[in-house]
């Protein structure tokens, strides 16, 4: 063969081999293990409805629970069977909050609800639009419900002098008190304090988990907090506690003392007054649980004790003549109407709501729960936190490295 023909033949052979390798590389690699997952595409499926059959508190199919954990919740979940709680998430939001609530839903679903499929109730003082409904429904693994707040629950009660309320808002604007100028914020605080649990969409549920737009969760939640609450007779729970701004609640404790005097039958023995007051109830130390995260009992909020408490305070007018928030309202109620054992602090649930973070101190707990939070940003033991008072009230030893109660 002449040299030029041999050169062209070699080029032809290289081209054929190259094309063969290219097409072979585009084919899927089939594994010989027939027990492994199929590599062929699967048609899309809708989530199965949650089972009512008894199950463990945690989902051991994906993540085992450490029976030797520093966490009471994880130790309990690892050793106790549990069923399914009658519970829902609840969010107060507006249509304009859609992308912030979408972020929050993904956090909750990815860290917890994708395995448990609890429902989600959305409430708004205006009708939800189709965009909000479509996006949230696509993200929630349980059933979504959308409700409108009755006008009488999002407006001034008849005993409020609206001119006086307007003057207070202007005064607070000048003093630069946070949300002090806002009328809608006051409607929201009153609604969260005394009405959300009365909405028809929540009547058939026993427990709720409040989720606000834009929040983040940093640790897996491979156990069911609702079932833990139910089986351990917990009525109210939190992740962050702090001092309230004094300028927003100057007469709140006076109203609480009046209620306690009028209804001594409602005050629980063995309550958490020590968390709320440093002088056995004479004054309020301003400590409260940050209510943008709370898991609680709807039956308790619907009880005569709580309703009498709320209605007594509502008549004082402090939601509008001052700027009472739902956080101190809920916290004081939990502190005086419940036994201290019926409250719970979730050290395991790493959480962020601007500007504060809760992140577990215990490194092994963070590893077990695949946490992504920076423990140096943990708010728990900062000067403005009230968690040390909660520990002291419940005779819980302070964690290593924390020297004294605030």
Of the listed 294, 305, 322, 348, which one is catalytic?
A: 294
Say if residues 48 and 200 touch (Cβ distance below 8 Å): no
Give the chain's end-to-end CA distance (angstroms, integer).
96
| DSSP-H helix ranges across 80-224 | 98-108, 130-139, 162-175, 183-194
Cβ contacts of residue 296 below 8 Å, gap of 6+?
207, 208, 210, 229, 235, 236, 237, 330
Q: Strand, helix or coil at 87?
A: strand
Here the tokens at position 149 are 């707040």
Say if residues 285 and 142 touch (Cβ distance below 8 Å): no
For 258-286, the three-class secondary structure string (H helix, E strand, C coil) is: HHHHHCHHHCCCCCCHHHHCCCCCCCCCC
The answer to whether residue 246 is catalytic is: no
Say if residues 326 and 291 touch (Cβ distance below 8 Å): yes
The tokens 């300028």 sit on which residue? 247
Cross-strand partners of 146: 122
Q: Give the closest residue to 112 by CA, choosing from 250, 202, 23, 216.
A: 216
Return the active site residues: 294
């Amino acid at each position: 063969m002449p040299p030029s023909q041999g050169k062209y033949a070699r080029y032809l052979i290289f081209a054929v081999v190259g094309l063969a390798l290219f097409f072979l590389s585009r084919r899927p690699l089939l594994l010989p293990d027939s027990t492994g997952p199929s590599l062929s595409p699967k048609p899309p499926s809708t989530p199965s409805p949650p089972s009512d059959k008894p199950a463990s508190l945690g989902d051991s199919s994906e993540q085992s629970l450490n029976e030797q954990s520093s966490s009471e919740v994880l130790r309990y979940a690892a050793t106790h069977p549990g069923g399914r709680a009658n519970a829902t998430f609840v969010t107060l939001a507006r249509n304009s909050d859609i992308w912030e609530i979408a972020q929050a839903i993904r956090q909750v679903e990815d860290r917890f609800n994708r395995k448990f499929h609890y429902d989600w109730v959305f409430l708004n003082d205006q009708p939800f639009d189709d965009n909000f409904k479509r996006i949230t429904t696509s993200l929630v693994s349980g059933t979504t419900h959308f409700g409108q707040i009755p006008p009488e629950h999002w407006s001034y009660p008849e005993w409020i002098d609206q001119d006086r309320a307007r003057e207070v808002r202007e005064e607070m604007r000048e003093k630069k008190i946070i949300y002090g100028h806002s009328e809608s914020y006051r409607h929201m605080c009153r609604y969260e304090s005394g009405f959300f649990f009365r909405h028809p969409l929540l009547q058939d549920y026993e427990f709720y988990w409040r989720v606000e737009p834009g929040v983040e969760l940093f640790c897996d939640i491979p156990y069911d907090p609702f079932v833990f609450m139910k089986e351990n007779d917990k009525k109210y729970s939190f992740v962050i506690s702090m001092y309230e701004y004094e300028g927003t609640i100057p007469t709140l404790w006076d109203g609480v003392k009046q209620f306690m005097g009028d209804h001594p039958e409602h005050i629980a023995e063995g309550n958490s007054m020590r968390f709320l007051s440093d002088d056995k109830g004479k004054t309020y130390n301003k400590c409260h649980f940050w209510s943008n995260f709370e898991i609680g009992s709807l039956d308790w909020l619907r009880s005569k004790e709580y309703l009498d408490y709320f209605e007594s305070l509502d008549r004082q007018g402090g939601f509008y003549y001052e700027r009472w928030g739902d956080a101190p309202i809920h916290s004081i109620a939990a502190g005086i109407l419940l036994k201290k054992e019926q409250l719970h602090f979730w050290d395991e649930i790493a959480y962020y709501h601007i500007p504060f973070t809760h992140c577990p101190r215990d490194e092994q707990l963070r590893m077990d729960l695949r946490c992504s939070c920076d423990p140096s940003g943990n708010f728990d033991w900062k000067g403005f936190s009230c968690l040390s008072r909660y520990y002291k009230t419940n005779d819980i030893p302070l964690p290593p490295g924390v020297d004294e109660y605030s």
